[in-house]
Amino acid sequence: MNDHILSLLKDPKSKGVLYVAPSLFKKWIDSKRFPNKIGFGAKQASCQLAPHPDNKEELLLSEDVWTKLGIPFSQPVHTLHWNDTFTLSPLIGVFTAGFQSSLTKPLGFRTTYFAELLSKAPSIGVYAFVFGAHHIRWETKTIEGLFYQNGQWTQCSVPFPSAIYDRIPSRKIASLPKQQEAKNYLSHSYMIPWYNESFFDKGSLYQHLMNISSTRAFLPESIQNPTKQEIERMLEQYTHVYCKPANGSLGSGIQQIIKSVEDAYYYCRFYENGQNRLRRYTNLRRLLTNQFPNKFEHFIVQQGIHLFQFEGKPVDFRVHTNKNEKGRWLVTALAAKVAGNGSVTTHVKAGGEVKSIAEVFPLLPGGMLTIDMLKSTALHLSEVIESLFNGFIGEIGFDFGIDKQGEIWLLEANSRPGRTIFHHPELSLENTETLRLPLLYGAYLTSKQGSAFRQPLPKRF
């Protein structure tokens, strides 16, 4: 991307002209490389190029070309020049579902998140909008996108975008035919880069990481579709295990099985009807029959880790990584999540609490060395997972555990991480950065259009 942003304005007086900032026009003269087309999203148009009549460092586009390209409104833009096309600005579509009829809260309780995301677009010079499958107009190759501007939602018809950021909220919705059809047509037929396009399959990801020597040591033992005998053996070895839905998210459906060392009982900890529950059983068979009536198909049993504790409660660590405007991985957020009383997970809905690293640091085994290891491990895993993935990944949320000996364990990796940690007041800067970077990564993918970079990777999971 260029290193400066220019204002893009509409000119109602001229016809078929783009008036260019003097510094940009001089650059084209010096390089003897003038574009012959201008683009916005998937749309292109021919027009004259001329230096700005008032010598201003801005772009002034004739109204007729503006309308033809489907530009929704004036704002700062980050221009791109690739081969013979001058792209006025990356146009990023954010694909999701769950729309409401009201423009006051078009996405229900998720409206605030999308408003915060889109509000970052002008400052980095990109146009960004939210859309669903039902907003696509295939016959005109346009989308009735929702923009957030000056504190209000507006709907504008725009061309197909130059990159698409997938924020479908659940696996179930993502698997619906209309969502699959929209994704397949836009990403394959129209070759639009589509990033964070699917949820990770936990079982497949685990198997791939187990086959790589540099990542194997971070993985707790896990078995997909376990038998009673396998669970019994793991309880003998680890004293507790976690049973997780293979395609679960946000902690839903996780149960902890504990073999007590103090008595002859087995215990199951789980979350049900808004409450943390603990049940006692005289034997494992009875526990499994009652807690898992549908057996263990589509479940993963995972080794229990004796985690670092804060004020007597287990802690795990969320590390958020993002691709930046150069396509490089960065650690963008790091926070501790403390389990609630009697909770099987650290999720806030089950009574968990988010803490800044500064709050837990005095008790953290290894201190700053552990923090540095968490960051370097997250970056390494991001690069490895990306190499396995079929497509583009712009962000990953990792949940790590640290045991009492200071060893790091990977508990979860999510391609669409939750954002609860950013409600903590000390993570406001990280919140902003993790909203900006997905849009900047979309701009990076826009800059690579037409190159070999855009060819899909071999599918591994």
371: pLDDT strictly greater than 90: yes
Please state, in angstroms and as integers, the Cα–Cα distance from residue 441 to each residue in 96, 106, 219, 385, 406, following that order.
18, 25, 29, 17, 34
Q: How far apart are CA 417 and CA 413, in angstroms?
A: 8
Task: Give 420's pLDDT tier (boundaries 50, 70, 90).
Answer: very high
Which CATH number, 1.10.10, 3.40.50, 3.30.519, 2.40.50, labels domain 91-192? 3.40.50
Task: Give 164's pLDDT tier (boundaries 50, 70, 90).
Answer: very high
- Tens digit of each residue's pLDDT (9 = 90 or more) over 4-23: 799 999 999 999 999 999 99
Smallest CA-to-CA distance from 122 within 143, 145, 92, 100 is with: 92
Mean pLDDT calculated for residue range 365-378? 95
Mean pLDDT calculated for residue range 395-411? 94
CB 305 within 8 A of CB 316: no
- Tens digit of each residue's pLDDT (9 = 90 or more) over 376-395: 999 999 999 999 988 899 99
CB 197 within 8 A of CB 392: yes
- Tens digit of each residue's pLDDT (9 = 90 or more) over 313-339: 999 999 999 999 999 999 999 999 998
Smallest CA-to-CA distance from 240 within 253, 224, 225, 254 is with: 254
| 411 DSSP 8-state letter | E
272: pLDDT strictly greater than 50: yes
Task: Give 352's pLDDT tier (boundaries 50, 70, 90).
Answer: confident
CB 345 within 8 A of CB 339: yes
Residues of the chain with CATH 3.30.470.20: 202-218+307-447
Task: Give 248's pLDDT tier (boundaries 50, 70, 90).
Answer: low
Tokens 């004020």 correspond to: 311
pLDDT of res. 10: 97
Give the predicted TM-score (pTM) of the model: 0.91
Mean pLDDT calculated for residue range 156-168? 97
How far from chain centre, in Å, is Cα 313? 29
Tokens of 283: 């034997």
Mean pLDDT calculated for residue range 333-351? 86
CB 118 within 8 A of CB 96: no
Q: How far apart are CA 384 and CA 386, in angstroms?
A: 5
- Stated as kind and residue range, the H or E segment containing 18 is strand 17-20
Q: How far apart are CA 143 and CA 160, in angstroms?
A: 6
Task: Give 452's pLDDT tier (boundaries 50, 70, 90).
Answer: very low
How far from chain centre, in Å, is Cα 194? 12
- Tens digit of each residue's pLDDT (9 = 90 or more) over 261-270: 888 899 999 9
Tokens 């895993």 correspond to: 381
Residues of the chain with CATH 3.40.50: 91-192
Q: How far apart are CA 224 and CA 180, in angstroms?
A: 27
267-288 b/e (C-beta count within 10 Å ≥ 16 → b): bbbbbeeeebeeeebeeeeebb
Please state, in angstroms and as integers, the Cα–Cα distance from residue 73 to each residue in 8, 78, 269, following that order.
9, 15, 54
Tokens of 86: 């001058």
Q: Find the range with the poorest average confidence among 220-224, 352-356, 409-413, 447-451.
A: 447-451
**Per CATH, is 6-87 categorized as 2.40.40?**
yes
Q: How far apart are CA 421 and CA 347, in angstroms?
A: 10
Please state, in angstroms and as integers, the Cα–Cα distance from residue 250 to each residue in 169, 200, 274, 399, following that order.
11, 13, 14, 11
163: pLDDT strictly greater than 70: yes
- Pairing label, strands 152-159, 142-149: antiparallel
458: pLDDT strictly greater than 80: no
Q: What is the CA radius of gyration of the chain?
A: 25
pLDDT of res. 187: 94
With the C-alpha atoms ordered 336, 339, 344, 349, is the resulting torsion angle positive or negative? negative
Topology (CATH) of 202-218+307-447: D-amino Acid Aminotransferase; Chain A, domain 1 (3.30.470)
pLDDT of res. 450: 47
Tokens of 59: 């772009």
pLDDT of res. 251: 64
